[in-house]
Amino acid sequence: MKNSISLKSRDITISNFSNLNQSIIEINIINQIKSLNLIQPDDKNIINIKDQNVKRIIKYQTIYQLCEYYKNLKTNHRKIIYIQPEIINNNSEMFNYCNYDLYKEVILTTLNKINIHLPIFIYFSKLYIDFECYPNCDKTVNIGIIEDMFMDMTSKFDQKRNGNQKSFKMIKKYCEKSGLKFLSEQYFNDLGGKMIML
């Protein structure tokens, strides 16, 4: 499963959230939920997405794993987290345990929070890119439309990078409320540095 593609001509590295979610994030979500006995064995091993502890785990693991990935991704290009139209792959393991729409809603809310509060750029796309074989197998979408999307990604990344960046003091209450103990001021500044130093 390919998590990212780099386009030197556009100076961007695009990471596919759906693939990251499936290969990294949801594994940690499921393991933590299981370790805390939050799966309901009497109800066909169902995870209750409405349970506040479950929601907290989903949000925490999504933020933590995405931050770790973003911070450690080795590239000199703009780092873009790409969200495909359906957000999550249909063969996500989480769907063996819970309702698709409820899980997607929690993930979408979390991604929006990340985009607002953290120096990570997330791009919500209306187009699907096949990361496994791009650009050779993308026959269903006009290449001009894809190129326009890449230009839009670059433009919006630069707007966020050059705009009024939030300081750690501005998001400290959000971090405390969300239980993001890993997100210290130094960690936050390291993330911000990855966006600024391009």
How many structural domains comprise the chain? 1
pLDDT digits (tens, 9 = 90+) for 88-131: 888 888 888 888 889 999 999 999 999 888 889 899 988 777 66
In-domain check, residue 33: yes
Tokens of 18: 């759906």
pTM for this prediction:
0.86
In-domain check, residue 198: no
Q: In angstroms, how far apart are the furthest CA atoms of the chain?
A: 54
In-domain check, residue 139: yes
In-domain check, residue 194: no
In-domain check, residue 138: yes
* Segments forming the whole domain that contains residue 165: 4-189
Region label for 179, one of left (φ > 0), alpha (ψ between -120 and 50) or beta (otherwise): left
In-domain check, residue 196: no
Amino acid letter, residue 1? M
pLDDT digits (tens, 9 = 90+) for 158-184: 888 777 667 888 888 888 888 889 989
